[in-house]
Amino acid sequence: MKKFTALFILFACLHSLHANETVKIEKGIKIPHIEFPMKEGKGMYSTKGKCNMCHSFGYIINQGNQSRKFWRDKVIKMIKVFKAPIYTKEDIDTVTNYLFENYGNGKEE
């Protein structure tokens, strides 16, 4: 038991010494800004306003060209799971149609 207590105290002392180390932060590091431009099209501004408040448009581009059903399901998921500010059927249709017309694969399903 004494060995355990001694080891515990030693560990605590060493840990406190390590915690007091100063960490140098290197200045001059720049994080690049990456722009993900949206294709012009009907519903672009509505889609931008509703999607980009939570994530960049890069998230959408990374999905690849998908079917209308895929985009509609994705919009519904964003509403149900992440509380996307898409409140009406008209808004759902606008966003889905924009995504399908500009990032779709031509297939309905």
**CATH number for position 51:** 1.10.760.10
Q: Answer whether residue 38 is part of any domain.
A: no
Q: Answer whether residue 27 is part of any domain.
A: no
The DSSP output letter for 20 is T
Print pLDDT tens along the chain (109 aa): 677 677 667 666 666 655 555 667 777 888 888 888 999 999 999 999 999 999 999 999 999 999 999 999 999 999 999 999 999 999 999 999 999 999 999 999 9
Q: Answer whether residue 32 is part of any domain.
A: no
Q: How many domains does the chain have?
A: 1
CA-based R_g, the chain, Å: 25
- Per-position DSSP letters for 45-91, written without gaps between them: HHHHHHHTTTS-THHHHTT-SB-HHHHHHHHHHHHHHH--S--SHHH
Q: Answer whether residue 30 is part of any domain.
A: no
Give the pLDDT score at 93: 98
Q: Answer whether residue 53 is part of any domain.
A: yes
Domain containing 52 equals 44-103
Q: Answer whether residue 10 is part of any domain.
A: no
- Give backbone dihedrals phi and psi of 62, rounded to 5 degrees, phi first: -65, -15
Q: Answer whether residue 88 is part of any domain.
A: yes
User: What are the structure tokens assigned to 7, written together?
Assistant: 């080891």
